[in-house]
Amino acid sequence: MRLLTAICSGSSALMEYSIRKRHLWSLVWGLILVGLTISPVWAQSNQQVLVLDYEGPVTPAMLAYLERGLEHADSIDAEAVIFAIDTPGGSVDITHELTQSIQQSQVPVVVFVYPARAWAASAGTLITLSGHFAAMAPESLIGAASPVGSQGEDLPETAKKKAEEALAASARALAERRGETVVSWAEQTVLSAKAATAEEALEIGAIDLIADDVTDLLQQLDGQEVKIDGIERAMDLQDAEVVEFQSNFVEDFLAVLSNPTVAVILLTLGLNALLYELSAPGGYVAGAVGIISLLLALYSLGTLDANYAGLAFILLAFGLFIIDLKIHTGGALTIGGLISFVLGAAVLFNTPYYPIPWAAIVGMAAAMGLFVFFALTAVMKTQRSAPFSGKDALLGQIGDARSVLDPTGMVFVMGTYWEATTEGSFIEKGATIVVTRREGRYLRVRQAE
């Protein structure tokens, strides 16, 4: 009886274990099925499309922004990068680096001429052709890639032919995958400055589609095949998250320096600060500000492919200002300097990529004219109205050297700055001096014992 009871108990336990095991396997398979169902949703929600937006000429700022964006897109395994551009063109060398970065990208790059009425001119044409996909907004334009000089002038015949052949070869290489018609058109954008509307570009096959905005662009690109490193795959953009990729401080700063108006302001500020330091030596702030401003201005001019003949006119203008402060011509040299400055600034930015910033040029010229006028007035007033009753009133007066006298420099005597020449040995800045003779607006001095 006991044996029968034990057998029944064992059978019951075995059945209970079997039921629990089936429940456990059901739970495991259920979790697997749920995971298989949810995982595609997770994958879709993690898909991202990076949007880079750049407006302006082709400069180092544009290159730095694009390269950083492509690097970030690769690190997050983005589904695509949309490079929205509106550019009048720019540096050929930087354009080559841009097109190489786009073609070597492991993430599909869609170059989008955007917004409506945007322009992918000159270098912008080559950038657009280099994308894995090319798109344009309605009413936008592309083309006119003929090479010109940095000031917009026609190149000499030999130089022009070499530049055209090099750019035409680049255009043909970038357009080759789009067929012979596009290759011929791309070549003509260089040789004959040919341009096209969005509709015309789409008709000949230079671009893949026309889109109103980024959303419309993604809808049209969804499912399109793209080949990278010889491997084709379809882009899945239906549920991708659109992420705006912002430029950083350095890129924004470089973009600001690539503005002609900023270049004029920096150049004027730097030269004025140095002019002030020369007219009233003894401080260091104006000189430091002037040097920093001039260095930034030179960088800006370099990125803008500025005409350095214009820079020569501007330097001549400040030379005339300095001479007028020294010999007092009554403002004649100052007027000549202002004319030289305006002409130089206009020539400096006479390029096909930037409008001449007339407002900034005229404003800076007016500010400089006022600065020089008040400086001249102050010099004349202090030196003609100095507190003395006769020619020899300054003899024996004590002052201090405000600059090194070797042998000429600036001294401060009886509340007034004077140009002075030492009659003795070298005098250090800050040393106490004694006036020995006055010669018009100049003093003869020696170091006090």
% residues pLDDT > 90 (the chain):
35
pLDDT-derived band of residue 14, with 50, 70 and 90 as boundaries?
very low
pTM: 0.68
Q: Please report the pLDDT score of residue 192 as a whole number.
A: 87
What does the longest C-alpha to C-alpha distance in the chain come to? 147
Are 366 and 429 part of one and the same domain? Answer: no
Residue 206 domain-assigned (yes or no): yes
| pLDDT tens, position by position, 238-269 | 889 999 999 999 899 988 888 878 888 898 88
Are 231 and 104 part of one and the same domain? Answer: yes
Q: Does 343 have pLDDT greater than 50?
A: yes
Residue 125 domain-assigned (yes or no): yes
Are 31 and 55 part of one and the same domain? Answer: no
Are 41 and 55 part of one and the same domain? Answer: no
Are 100 and 240 part of one and the same domain? Answer: yes
Residue type, 184: S
**CA 186, CA 130: separation in Å to the nearest integer?**
12
| pLDDT tens, position by position, 363-388 | 888 888 887 777 666 666 655 554 44
Question: Given 217, 232, 250, which residue is the final one in a domain?
Answer: 250
Question: Given 250, 276, 300, which residue is the final one in a domain?
Answer: 250
* Angle at which helices 92-103 and 157-175 cross, to 10°: 10
Most confident of 104-118, 285-299, 319-333: 104-118
pLDDT top residue among 149 and 318 = 318
Q: Please report the pLDDT score of residue 378 as a whole number.
A: 63
**CA 85, CA 122: separation in Å to the nearest integer?**
13
| pLDDT tens, position by position, 164-221 | 787 889 999 999 999 999 999 999 998 888 999 999 999 999 999 999 999 999 999 9
Is the Cα torsion angle 150, 352, 270, 341 positive or negative in sign? positive
106-110: average pLDDT:
96
Residue 389 domain-assigned (yes or no): no
Are 93 and 225 part of one and the same domain? Answer: yes
Q: What is the CATH number of the domain that holds 439?
A: 2.40.50.140
Residue type, 248: N
Question: Given 221, 250, 279, which residue is the final one in a domain?
Answer: 250
Q: Please report the pLDDT score of residue 25 as a whole number.
A: 54
**CA 122, CA 231: separation in Å to the nearest integer?**
31
Residue 303 CB partners (closer than 8 Å, separation 6+):
59, 60, 61, 91, 254, 257, 258
- β-sheet with 119-121: strand ranges across: 119-121, 141-143, 195-197
Residue 393 domain-assigned (yes or no): no
| pLDDT tens, position by position, 27-80 | 545 555 544 444 444 334 468 999 999 998 888 999 999 999 999 999 999 999
Rg (CA), the chain: 36
- β-sheet with 80-86: strand ranges across: 209-210, 133-136, 109-113, 80-86, 48-55, 241-244
Residue 197 domain-assigned (yes or no): yes
3-state secondary structure of 253: helix
Are 53 and 42 part of one and the same domain? Answer: no
Q: Please report the pLDDT score of residue 310 as a whole number.
A: 86
Q: Which of 104-108, 162-166, 235-239 has the lowest mean pLDDT?
A: 162-166
Q: Does 156 have pLDDT greater than 50?
A: no
Q: Which domain holds residue 441?
A: 398-447
Are 120 and 216 part of one and the same domain? Answer: yes
Residue 272 domain-assigned (yes or no): yes
Q: How far is CA 145 from the centre of its chain?
A: 21
Q: What is the CATH number of the domain that holds 67?
A: 3.90.226.10
Q: Please report the pLDDT score of residue 39 as a whole number.
A: 43
Are 155 and 236 part of one and the same domain? Answer: yes
* Angle at which helices 249-257 and 260-279 cross, to 10°: 80
Are 19 and 136 part of one and the same domain? Answer: no
Are 341 and 198 part of one and the same domain? Answer: no
| pLDDT tens, position by position, 109-152 | 999 999 999 999 988 999 999 999 999 999 999 998 765 544 44
Q: Please report the pLDDT score of residue 26 as a whole number.
A: 57
**CA 233, CA 223: separation in Å to the nearest integer?**
9
Residue 391 domain-assigned (yes or no): no
Are 95 and 243 part of one and the same domain? Answer: yes
Looking at the 3D structure of the chain, how many domains does it have?
4
Residue 390 domain-assigned (yes or no): no
